[in-house]
Structure 1
């Protein structure tokens, strides 16, 4: 983007990245694809709170931004959500249930006291993908698949920087989390709960969360074909994903196998779609992607074993900034989006 018709520098774009535990607000210079660091506001968010509490918390973060920005906001939001109308559809999802049927756009505009003429919503995985396309690892790829790995699997299929949500070359709605693998939805295996439950099964219930108690399964022992979503052990005793990754880094067999199994499964589920979409790269972001040395070999092996075309699997170049950048670019290009 060049200067405005008056010759003055364009105003920065305000953005929001709404997640299950935090909301981030910031101002973005889209011409330079740069988040203005002094403006970033990150505050806790309770996804189980009443609608007014959620909207008040999001608006508070937005209102903490300095004035002097443009009137159109980019808002990255998890689904299921009607991004065109700004209405939530979270019933039965275990998060943001109170926003089901709520006009989130109208609620936020009312709270932003004249600082928002329009809110341009997009899926949070799409925001990440657009940001990586504009100035990250997806730059230069006309057709790319971007994944965010955290509590679950977010996905975006980008064609020339635009998300593709329908048609024969992408999964339903452009989302991979419900793809079948080993007879179950992918997210039962490739998720925080799936990794933890599989690790628990490999260690044995007596050993989970208690150092020195019990013993690892014998090396080479057969892993469960379908990891349960619950291990029968108090969830508080299960180590979190980062702890399992640390144990894998120290050579613990069960921890390494838990990662291998999950991301091999992801590769197997993804392979047919990277072929159909003719993707030239797969970009990985999200909190779990920090364990790159565990994810990359398993994912590439899964892609290859499923007969998928050879496609480079790359780490996100701007994992923290990408959703904010993507939301800013989207707000500039969304035309008449409400």
Structure 2
């Protein structure tokens, strides 16, 4: 008698960031289990760490496949990382083939900001919306654009890299709004800001003004119904969002009553959840 095969119960979603990795085992919106790890800095340790993270979140439970969210420009058809600015050791690597050899499951590769927006469209504040811009503010600044009910991909799959828009002569949104813009530990600055430090609050005021210019550009170009902010820096929204909105209004073509809502994601593990949806419904 042949051994009974395990029924796949769940999907693994991975969000690979510049400093940390998050994995969820999910069944629809329900999160069964979560695991986290630091992001390695070379290919050899990366493969092992990702495989270990998947095994840790699955805990022996069978799963249908893995959705992999990764920052940067990707050739999804070939499973290659073209350019990941904060994980340069991945550039040019056939990452999907390398991982499939280890875990023997279907792997679906997608930009991490697109995964974040997928999560919001399926389970968060973008449900029912047809025109959405999403920004993830962390080690870098990721962007995703959903317009007239479709994701904006571009010819090479690199559209929507909103963090690389130049807004201050030679500086990009990512230079001015991500954790790279802090001269000291971002979490320490955040804590100091909430504690009332004038110096820390000035840092966030400046960050907010730069973000406001970027938001105005996105509104003028994409005319979204809603803009959703996520990532570690978004947790400090009370410190920078007022100045961002004030600056944004100075540069938008639309009158104030027509401007989109700017909201902070309330969905835990949005990018990992969005990545998991790729296994059953890949993006075109």
TM-score above 0.5, yes or no = yes
Change (3 A) 1:186 1:29: same
1:316 to 2:261 alignment? no
Q: Which residue of 2 aligns with 1:110?
A: 101
1:332 to 2:277 alignment? no
Greater strand percent: which structure?
2
Q: Which residue of 2 aligns with 1:288?
A: 233
Contact 2:20 2:39 in 1 (8 A): yes
Contact 1:24 1:42 in 2 (8 A): yes
Q: Which residue of 2 aligns with 1:34?
A: 30
List per-residue Cα deviations over 1:241-273 (Å, max 9, x = no partner): 222223333433332222111221112123132
Q: Secondary structure at the match of 1:291?
A: helix
CA shift for structure 1 position 301: 1.2
Change (3 A) 1:192 1:106: same
| TM-score, length basis structure 1 | 0.73
Contact 2:17 2:139 in 1 (8 A): no
Q: Which residue of 1 aligns with 2:160?
A: 174
CA shift for structure 1 position 160: 6.0
Q: Which residue of 1 aligns with 2:75?
A: 82
Of 225, 242, 253, 2:187 maps to: 242
Change (3 A) 1:328 1:311: same
Contact 1:154 1:175 in 2 (8 A): yes
List per-residue Cα deviations over 1:12-38 (Å, max 9, x = no partner): 1122222223333321112xx1211xx
Of 174, 179, 200, 1:192 maps to: 179
Unaligned segments of structure 1, at least 5 residues: 1-8, 197-237
CA shift for structure 1 position 152: 2.1
Contact 2:117 2:144 in 1 (8 A): yes
Change (3 A) 1:181 1:291: same
List per-residue Cα deviations over 1:161-191 (Å, max 9, x = no partner): 6421339xxxx71111121222122222112
Change (3 A) 1:69 1:278: farther
Contact 1:130 1:162 in 2 (8 A): no
List per-residue Cα deviations over 1:192-240 (Å, max 9, x = no partner): 12132xxxxxxxxxxxxxxxxxxxxxxxxxxxxxxxxxxxxxxxxx3x1
Change (3 A) 1:285 1:60: same
Contact 1:35 1:321 in 2 (8 A): no
Change (3 A) 1:248 1:135: same
Contact 2:16 2:22 in 1 (8 A): yes
Contact 1:88 1:103 in 2 (8 A): yes
Larger Rg: 1
Change (3 A) 1:249 1:143: same
CA shift for structure 1 position 94: 5.1
| TM-score, length basis structure 2 | 0.86
